[in-house]
A and B are shown apart, each in its own frame.
Chain A
Amino acid sequence: MPQRTDLIYEYDGSLEGMYSCIFESFEKKELPMEIRPEGISQTSLYPVKYISTDLIRAERVKTGIRRKISRSVQQLTELVYYTCHPEKEMLALRFVQLGMRCGAGVETMYADETVHALTRAVKHLTQESHQLKGFVRFSIREGIMTSVIEPKNFVLPLLEPHFCDRYAQETFLIYDKTHQSALFYRPGQSIIAPVPEYEQPEADDQEMKYRSLWKAFYQTIAISSRYNPRCRMSHMQKRYWSHLVEMDESIPTRWEAGQAKKKLCQSGMEDCNEKTT
């Protein structure tokens, strides 16, 4: 049984780093007070122990969980790493400890405090990634599809298989603004990499045409006598709206598009661009 200590573990913020922390805790038989990624400059009275990432140890923890507990518990520990839970590392550690004691059944011990918190965090992650499978909006320019999202959890690893399968023959990019990372894909090859800054390219005429068509469709399909803004908001939270084409006020509706076209004929391209951007 690990001894409770007043130690704080610090690691480099990677998944392997988190596994290394779990290894350290098991090896030294100590239970840290907190595990936190480095870079958060928080002065505290308690001693900080830096755990360097060790790929071999991380792999041992991974296979150890898979063999001694179960494959799905290992997947859950990995999923909790992608969540935005403030104490996700401690959750993972306590979950693994509990798993070593109780076996594969640990994931259904919903009455337990740790399992409950972990299940909720993971559910938040999977729910958000499921919603984003629908709410990602690609812009197409020169055959390349690009999109920006602002999720709370790190959902890119969960979106990767879905979009790579769906657009197997396309080239696309999904930029996660919150975590400053991007998913790149071109046929047969995909990668998630940190990208500090990214701007969407300006939409061309073709792109604007389909955006306005989509917005026109969106506005038409609602039945006005059933207007229910609360219901819409609970299914599609406002935090998603800023990246949704149909909620973008600046995109011309059907009437404005006609106006823009007229202007284009009268005074050339510049004027039209001003209107639509």
Chain B
Amino acid sequence: MDLFDKLTILADSAKYDAACTSSGIDRGSSPGKIGNAVACGICHSFAADGRCISLLKVLLSNSCMYDCQYCVNRRSNDTPRATFTPRELADLTMQFYRRNYIEGLFLSSGILKNPDYTCEKMIETLRILREEYGFAGYIHAKAIPGADSALILRLGQLADRMSVNIELPSQKSLALLAPDKSKTAILRPMGLITGKIQQTQTEMVRYRHVPRFAPAGQSTQMIVGATADTDYRILTLSEALYKKYGLRRVFYSAYVPVSDNPLLPALQTKPPLLREHRLYQADWLLRYYGFSAREILDEEHQSLHPYLDPKCNWAINHMDLFPVEVNRASREMLLRVPGIGVNSVNRILAARRHSALDFAALKKIGVVLKRAQYFILCRGKAAEGVSITPDSVLRALVSERSRQMAFSGQYEQMSLWQEQITREDVVQCLSGQI
């Protein structure tokens, strides 16, 4: 089998992994080495599905001894199998890196023989890259659940970022679809990595030369739409992961049907892209906007709104807190206004020290007035011609695009509604008129 075949088979098997970021660490070059890393991350290309390509994302091998139902590489699936030799993959990475095609390597693998053996092969690849070729670019390595702790720790010393995939948001779903994996088998390496990262950080304060351990932190991924788990459940889990395990990112991956197992959505089902999009929006609220999962959803409301983004939805349900005076509101409150993002808040806080801001100034700053105007006052006045009633606000906030996304047959929601639905209908539906 030549390199072309191997690369296409192993990239094809890796494509459902959502994480392709190269962020989280700034590292200049050092003498005798090639490469550096930039904290904000660099996208090198964008695939036809619009997702960023930053790393050479491949599996070391797609032969797997497990039989997880949601996975293309499951043992029972009839698909071509291939395995890179560590040297082959390291060479390919270097050639791509020198041509500036990629920012580094994303390495995962199916379970060859047993977890320890697989982990050793991955370590060998990274060792060749780091020690023989002097590669100082970005490396994201998947920890293999079930591998020996010593091996996982060694992997973390060579990689910049580590991740362990949670895959399914509950023990029940795991037992149903991934009988070879258990919650503890996944959480054990995650806890191990978190512990080691924290230990390294405290040691770095005390000693000068501490071997680095996953300096760009840890991330994980969850599959959305393969099981009956609700958004509320997923969000509370994410929140716990950020708090308890100090994760940098949780990725959500809309389930693309790859199996005709009766336990899973049918093969013709479209991936729930809108739901994935809303989950990412909510995730950003958790990480950057000071929201908690309980504020976004609760026991009564278990799924995110299809027509409204989570921030608008929260604001509409808390109209008693609005409108806020832009020139006096606190950072926390400004962050909660729809249409004002983190950058805009920083700019508002800096700019209002010079002079009181009006709507024209906000526009220059980059505030999305189309949404924000219903929630703010400038110098005590609302925007011209804007009436702030729940109905008009709703009407304005349900964007044409999200309506199309929700109703077009392209996505999974409401595909029964064949006839054209107008914005009016949506608004009436939301405000309880029909």
Q: Kindly state whether residue A214 has any CB partner on chain B within 8 Å.
A: yes
With A222-B15, A226-B271 as contacts: A232 and B46 at CB distance below 8 Å: yes
Contact A225 B270 (CB under 8 A): yes
A residues within 8 A CB of B12?
220
Segment among A30-38, A42-50, A133-141, A189-197 that sits at the interface with chain B: A133-141
Contact A221 B98 (CB under 8 A): no
Segment among B48-56, B148-156, B288-296, B426-434 that sits at the interface with chain A: B48-56
Near A by CB (< 8 A), chain B positions 243-298 give: 254, 256, 270-271, 273
Cβ contact of A170, chosen from B11, B51, B98, B361, cutoff 8 A: B98
Interface centre among A136, A166, A170, A246 (most CB of B within 10 A): A166
A138 to B354, CA, bound (A): 47
Contact A210 B47 (CB under 8 A): no
A residues within 8 A CB of B92?
213
Measured CB to CB, the closest approach of chain A to B253, in angstroms, equals 10
A137 to B351, CA, bound (A): 40
A residues within 8 A CB of B15?
220-223
Near B by CB (< 8 A), chain A positions 173-228 give: 210, 212-214, 216-228
Cβ contact of B7, chosen from A116, A135, A213, A236, cutoff 8 A: A213
A226 to B254, CA, bound (A): 10
Q: Kindly state whether residue B380 has any CB partner on chain A within 8 Å.
A: no
Contact B44 A109 (CB under 8 A): no
Give per-residue flags for B79-99: 1 if the beta carbon is below 8 A from chain A beta carbons, else 0. 000000000000010011011
With A213-B7, A218-B45, A236-B46 as contacts: A111 and B36 at CB distance below 8 Å: no
Cβ contact of B364, chosen from A111, A131, A246, A257, cutoff 8 A: A111
Cβ contact of A218, chosen from B32, B47, B98, cutoff 8 A: B47
Q: Kindly state whether residue A105 has any CB partner on chain B within 8 Å.
A: yes
Q: Kindly state whether residue B199 has any CB partner on chain A within 8 Å.
A: no
Q: Kindly state whether residue B66 has any CB partner on chain A within 8 Å.
A: no
A115 to B7, CA, bound (A): 50
A91 to B8, CA, bound (A): 51
A221 to B43, CA, bound (A): 14
Contact B49 A226 (CB under 8 A): yes
For A, the interface residue count at a CB cutoff of 8 angstroms equals 55
Contact B99 A222 (CB under 8 A): no
Contact A138 B45 (CB under 8 A): no
Kindly report which residue of chain A lies nearest to residue B49, judged by CB atoms. Answer: A226
B residues within 8 A CB of A257?
4
Q: Kindly state whether residue A29 has any CB partner on chain B within 8 Å.
A: no
Contact B351 A108 (CB under 8 A): yes
Give per-residue flags for A160-173: 1 if the beta carbon is below 8 A from chain B beta carbons, else 0. 00100111111000
A140 to B46, CA, bound (A): 23
Measured CB to CB, the closest approach of chain B to A122, in angstroms, equals 14
Give per-residue flags for B50-77: 1 if the beta carbon is below 8 A from chain A beta carbons, else 0. 1111101100000000000000000000
Contact B45 A246 (CB under 8 A): yes
A41 to B43, CA, bound (A): 41
Contact A169 B32 (CB under 8 A): yes
Q: Kindly state whether residue A254 has any CB partner on chain B within 8 Å.
A: yes
Interface centre among B32, B54, B353, B354 (most CB of A within 10 A): B354
A residues within 8 A CB of B350?
108, 110
Q: Kindly state whether residue A147 has any CB partner on chain B within 8 Å.
A: yes
Cβ contact of B48, chosen from A105, A109, A217, A222, cutoff 8 A: A222
A82 to B96, CA, bound (A): 30
A219 to B31, CA, bound (A): 36
Contact A227 B45 (CB under 8 A): no
Measured CB to CB, the closest approach of chain A to B408, in angstroms, equals 13
Contact B347 A244 (CB under 8 A): no
Q: Kindly state whether residue B422 has any CB partner on chain A within 8 Å.
A: no
Give per-residue flags for B353-370: 1 if the beta carbon is below 8 A from chain A beta carbons, else 0. 111011011001100000
Kindly report which residue of chain A lies nearest to residue B269, judged by CB atoms. Answer: A225
A216 to B101, CA, bound (A): 13
Q: Kindly state whether residue A22 has any CB partner on chain B within 8 Å.
A: no
A131 to B135, CA, bound (A): 23
Q: Kindly state whether residue B117 has any CB partner on chain A within 8 Å.
A: no
Kindly report which residue of chain A lies nearest to residue B5, judged by CB atoms. Answer: A254
Cβ contact of B100, chosen from A110, A137, A165, A258, cutoff 8 A: A137
With A110-B364, A140-B99 as contacts: A231 and B50 at CB distance below 8 Å: yes
Contact A108 B50 (CB under 8 A): no
Q: Kindly state whether residue A15 has any CB partner on chain B within 8 Å.
A: no
Cβ contact of A111, chosen from B100, B101, B271, B361, cutoff 8 A: B361
B residues within 8 A CB of A131?
43
Contact A222 B29 (CB under 8 A): no
Contact B354 A108 (CB under 8 A): yes
A226 to B58, CA, bound (A): 19
A184 to B18, CA, bound (A): 37
Contact B49 A228 (CB under 8 A): yes
Cβ contact of B99, chosen from A102, A133, A138, A232, cutoff 8 A: A138
Q: Kindly state whether residue B34 has any CB partner on chain A within 8 Å.
A: yes
A residues within 8 A CB of B53?
218, 221
Binding site for A on B (CB under 8 A): 3-5, 7-8, 11-12, 14-16, 28-29, 31-36, 38, 40, 42-54, 56-57, 92, 95-96, 98-101, 103, 254, 256, 270-271, 273, 347, 350-351, 353-355, 357-358, 360-361, 364-365
Enumerate the 5 nearest inter-chain pairs by beta-carbon distance, A residue then B residue, closest first: A231-B50, A111-B361, A108-B350, A222-B47, A226-B49
Binding site for B on A (CB under 8 A): 102, 105, 108-111, 116, 130-131, 133-140, 145, 147, 162, 165-170, 210, 212-214, 216-232, 235-236, 244-246, 254, 257-258
